[in-house]
Copies of this chain bind each other. A is one copy, B any other.
């Protein structure tokens, strides 16, 4: 199926379909120079399937992991494009998880001030969340996504068969963002996690629909879009405190969501879902390091306040601007993690 993200001249289609990679040439114009950027953790047959359809395709394989999402690798991609004299009419395709999409997307946004970018997310997290919305970025000094752009892809290809080989923990990492989408905007999506068997196709589709609606209304995060940050303020703090290692992004976001759910019964239901998905609901963390990281977060406003996203009841989110000190209280005084 196709989901169209309506953003005027920057509109694009998400193709959500088993086997979509195999018919990529029917979905996007590959008859030009194409650089396929992937990492060594992505099964090479996925990028090969793309390359096989490109008369002038090249592949760049980068090391797997968050430490690749940095300016040196951004420069590496730009140099590669320059080396082969890529022009404004050529195209860059990311094949991989959120790291590849964010990094390659920022390179596509910047090379010649923007060339066509196609995103082929191959992890659950990327298919559910990071591949749409047009936020691309790299990390700097251990701070996530601090240097980047708003840059929409020309197409997103979510091939569900890419998820078949994912380890369960990777799958759950992505599903945490789907639980988030359900909590803030879609009770039916949330309820899918309480069914006996997980209907993955429906979960991905409904998650994308939530994100599409929010992004269409607020492309560059002036207001509404901020609700997508639900769980991310504390989540990013936890992630940074772990020096970008130890827990996956979705696992950190899961932890970050719990204290922001105001209805105790809903919080209990969420914890049950997390347990089912083997997502963390607690643990031992360096609270000082988390507190330090929250300070540096983009969502901190410099006037001593920070905007948190809260869920008062299932399917609803609201922004709450509070003194930074309030986060300290949550971290140090409330029995939570």
Chain A contact residues, CB within 8 Å of chain B: 32-33, 71, 74-75, 78-79, 82, 85-90, 109-114, 135, 137, 140-141, 143, 146-150, 220, 295-296, 298, 300-302
Contact = CB atoms under 8 A, between A and B. Distances in A.
Given A71-B71, A141-B82, A147-B78, A302 B32 contact: yes
Contacts of A86: 302
A79 B71 CA distance: 12
B146 A296 contact: no
B140 A298 contact: no
Contacts of A71: 71, 74-75
A110 B109 CA distance: 10
A149 B90 CA distance: 17
A291 to B, nearest CB: 14
Contact of A147 (B89, B110, B148): B110
B87 A300 contact: yes
B150 A89 contact: no
Given A33-B302, A75-B140, A296 B82 contact: yes
Contacts of A74: 71
Q: How many copies does the complex hold?
A: 2
A202 to B, nearest CB: 32
A298 B109 contact: no
A79 B141 contact: yes
A82 B146 contact: yes
Best-buried of A89, A137, A147, A298 by chain B (most CB within 10 Å):
A147
A149 B109 contact: yes
Contacts of A149: 109-110, 113-114, 149
B113 A150 contact: yes
A301 B78 CA distance: 17
A85 B300 contact: yes
By Cβ-Cβ distance, the 5 closest A-B pairs, closest first, are A87-B302, A110-B147, A113-B148, A112-B298, A78-B147
B296 A85 contact: yes
Contacts of A220: 113-114
Nearest to A109: B149
Best-buried of A87, A135, A148 by chain B (most CB within 10 Å):
A87
10 contacts: A33-B302, A75-B140, A79-B140, A87-B298, A87-B300, A88-B298, A110-B110, A110-B147, A112-B146, A149-B149
Contacts of A79: 140-141
A150 B79 CA distance: 20
Best-buried of A32, A86, A141 by chain B (most CB within 10 Å):
A141
A78 B112 contact: no
A34 to B, nearest CB: 12
A146 B107 CA distance: 11
A237 to B, nearest CB: 14
B85 A295 contact: yes
B82 A140 contact: yes
A175 B180 CA distance: 57
